[in-house]
Chains A and B, each alone.
Chain A
Amino acid sequence: MEEIKTDSLKEKDEVSEDMQLLNDVTKNEYKWGFITDIESDTAPKGLNEEIVRFISMKKEEPEWMTEWRLKAFRHWQKMEEPEWPNVTYPKIDFQDIIYYSAPKRKPQLESLDEVDPELLKTFEKLGIPLEEQKILSGVAVDAVFDSVSVATTFKETLKEKGVIFSSVSDALKEHPELVKKYLGSVVPYTDNYYAALNAAVFSDGSFVYIPKGVRCPMELSTYFRINNEETGQFERTLIIAEDNSYVSYLEGCTAPIRDTNQLHAAVVELVILENAEIKYSTVQNWYPGNSEGKGGIYNFVTKRAACRGNHSKVSWTQVETGSAVTWKYPSCILQGDYSVGEFYSVAVTNNYQQADTGSKMIHLGKNTSSTIISKGISAGKSNNSYRGLVKVGKKADNARNFTQCDSMLMGEKCGAHTFPYIEIENNTARVEHEATTSKVGEDQIFYLNQRGISSEDAVNMIVNGFCKEVFNNLPMEFAVEAQKLLAISLESSVG
């Protein structure tokens, strides 16, 4: 397992170190020494300090930010790419990647006729309305429906409540003190290989701030923020819920996302203060590669929530159907007394997909409790691993954890694996773990057939039944879409 740095002392160190550096930098005249053409919209391939500076400058970041990125980069250079996950993929050449290109609008097409018919078929199956299909595939839309207008009304409502919902870049300009206070405070760049890389080169991402006592009046969705820009390769999301606040955040969408960038390494940091709650729902549907396993996105994500206040709560719900290789362990650091962490996950792998996902629950405060419900479905020749850590610290009296991880196999060539790790330093802890493995039985399918239900529908019903506990935690609309998405992902996997 990669190491988890959790104590607040460490964070303070980081901050004062940052201050130190900031001073150093302002004292010395900053030398750019740039070979790279500043006017260029794209950095040359490869990664070095110069590129990191270039990115920071392009984004007009304050100097402390540049320095933070540089420190991350220097740290990353000293690190090794992790090999413990149960996945295999060709070695990534980090010098063969372009780390910056100006935010691109999706290529504009004249009409839906120009869109990949496969993609359109999928849209249809998902029941995505025509106008929305156009937006998603980059076709010019009627002015009336332009999502900008939707987004505008949306923004005004939030503003009234004092909710900040913007890109991290904008937040750096408009609320630098907030970004500086919290960025890297949950996932320090020292955390792991990909977190360090992300810190050095992150493109952009969402920033959310919910002030004290505010219940965010609507579900916040990346869909509104990203509009028609391509999603970044190294996204960084930061959400802060002040005392007694609540927000539900939706990430991703069910429409299949293609991207020319193969490597994706995102970081998500959630800060939850006293009596506050964040509900974070993800539907991940990156291109998984073709049925022979060619192409497809590598998705290495670090997601972590710090429940800092007493009675704070975080709930991660994720439905993962895409990517060729997924590596993702949304974690909860339960620092505040009585804080609660939940993780509900459905991970589907088909064809040659590989997923190594799970959760980490770190109990530090007293009377903290956590729940992990993980449903892994493997089909084709895919490999699906659950990896979870439940850690109970010395002071975490009466910590409770319940973990259930169920695997479902479709066919004979796929694999499901479970790696639960439990570390307990307090003997009042109560930790329960349940695991099951089942097969979609021919007899179940025949039973449904015999009642007039086709094999395809039968498989969907069985799989949805299997995932029910997780879907129940998704916002209603998302849940319906997720069900359809699952059906599409598993299409033709049982014949």
Chain B
Amino acid sequence: MLVIKNLKANVEGKEILKGINLEIKAGEVHAIMGPNGSGKSTLANVLAGNGGYEVTSGEIYFEGKDLVELAPEDRAREGIFLAFQYPIEIPGISNATFLKTALNEVRKYHGKPEATPKEFLELLKEKSGVLGMDPQFISRSVNVGFSGGEKKRNEILQMLMLQPKLALLDETDSGLDIDALKIVSSGVNVFKNKDNAVLLVTHYQRLLNYIVPDYVHVLSQGRIIKSGGKELALELEEKGYDWIKNDELIEENV
């Protein structure tokens, strides 16, 4: 589904991603962990096409299409979804209008008719039910005055509504209380199937108890320095990141 080859990217002229290689297949869950500032959000933003990030070399293919060529809205319509680490507030636009517009844009792109108000409302009811969201949220402005946890939940609601192929979840677990973490995780598990994929960025092994990854990658200073199965997360939790960095140094010296 997603193939990243030797991807390098700059922010404000500074190289942040220094050669990323990664392949994600349909049905898989990948977790990316790594120290603050290592480039995890940068990777997610580059995949989503944020104009503030410049791809300097390498390739990204999504379902065989060259992503670098695609505008961000088209990437979204193709099925790439980014749950933001810091969701953005948009005053004056209700969640309902926002969700409906987004849903219909995606539908239009795939040649499907727009959702009727009834269809939309039913879908909305079903999905917000999964997340135990107060229906009142829907008439409020997008993320305005939402608590940190509410914003994260709102991101997952959008994901459930839009049914993307690849969901990039950037620290969706941070800022959630224990109950909310369970609810959001179950939302992701409801979403997950053999045809789609999830890439989650997290600092906490805890999340991976709820959403079990097939692969765990460690990103450090713009490179994936180690990949492994779900047990790698436990190891990281126990030992921190330094031991891998040391390992890597040893490998390089050999």
Residues of A within 8 A of B (CB): 441-444, 446-455, 457, 461-462, 464-468
Contact = CB atoms under 8 A, between A and B. Distances in A.
B169 interface: no
Interface range for B: 20 to 34
B98 A442 contact: no
Contacts, number: 77
B105 A452 contact: yes
Contacts of A444: 88, 90
A454 B73 CA distance: 6
A442 B72 CA distance: 13
Contacts of B101: 451, 453, 457, 461
Which of B75, B105, B109: most chain A Cβ within 10 A? Answer: B105
B77 interface: yes
Interface in B73-109: 73, 75-77, 81-82, 84, 87-88, 90-93, 97-98, 101-102, 105-106, 109
B48 interface: yes
Interface of B: 48-52, 71-73, 75-77, 81-82, 84, 87-88, 90-93, 97-98, 101-102, 105-106, 109, 141, 158, 162
B105 to A, nearest CB: 4
Contact of A452 (B76, B92, B97): B76
Contacts of B81: 450
Given A450-B73, A451-B101, 19 more contacts: A441-B88, A443-B88, A446-B72, A446-B88, A447-B88, A449-B49, A449-B76, A450-B48, A450-B81, A452-B105, A453-B101, A453-B102, A454-B105, A455-B73, A461-B90, A461-B93, A462-B92, A464-B92, A468-B92
Given A446-B51, A451-B102, A453-B102, A466 B73 contact: no
B82 A452 contact: no
B138 to A, nearest CB: 15
A462 B87 contact: no
Contact of B91 (A442, A451, A453, A466): A466
A465 to B, nearest CB: 2
13 contacts: A441-B88, A442-B51, A442-B52, A447-B88, A450-B48, A450-B75, A452-B162, A453-B101, A454-B105, A455-B73, A461-B97, A465-B91, A465-B93
A453 B109 CA distance: 11
A193 B41 CA distance: 59
A59 B101 CA distance: 54
A221 B51 CA distance: 46
B52 to A, nearest CB: 7
Given A457-B101, A465-B141, A449 B73 contact: yes
A447 B84 contact: yes
Q: Could you say which of B49, B73, B81 has the most chain A C-beta atoms within 10 Å of its C-beta?
A: B73
Ranked nearest first, the 7 interchain pairs of A and B with the lowest CB-CB distance are: A465-B92, A452-B105, A451-B102, A449-B72, A447-B88, A465-B93, A452-B76
Contacts of B98: 448, 451, 461
B162 A462 contact: no
A398 B90 CA distance: 37
Nearest to A456: B73
A449 B97 CA distance: 15
Contacts of A441: 88
A244 to B, nearest CB: 36
Given A441-B88, A461-B101, A465-B141, A450 B93 contact: no
Nearest to B99: A451
Contacts of B92: 462, 464-468
Contact of B106 (A449, A452, A454, A462): A452
Contacts of B109: 452
A451 B158 contact: yes
Given A442-B52, A446-B51, A446-B72, A452 B88 contact: no
Contacts of B72: 446, 449-450
Nearest to A436: B91
Contacts of B91: 465-466
B222 to A, nearest CB: 22
A394 to B, nearest CB: 39
Contacts of B76: 449-452
B90 A462 contact: yes
Nearest to B106: A452
A446 B49 CA distance: 9
Nearest to A451: B102
Given A465-B92, A465-B93, A447 B87 contact: yes
Contacts of A451: 76, 98, 101-102, 105, 158, 162
B90 A465 contact: yes
B123 to A, nearest CB: 15
Contact of B71 (A447, A449, A464): A449
Contacts of B77: 452
A446 B50 contact: yes
A467 B92 CA distance: 8
Contacts of A450: 48-49, 72-73, 75-76, 81-82, 84
Contacts of A466: 91-92
A443 B90 CA distance: 10
A448 B77 CA distance: 12
Nearest to A375: B92
A452 B102 contact: yes
A443 B102 CA distance: 17
Nearest to A471: B92
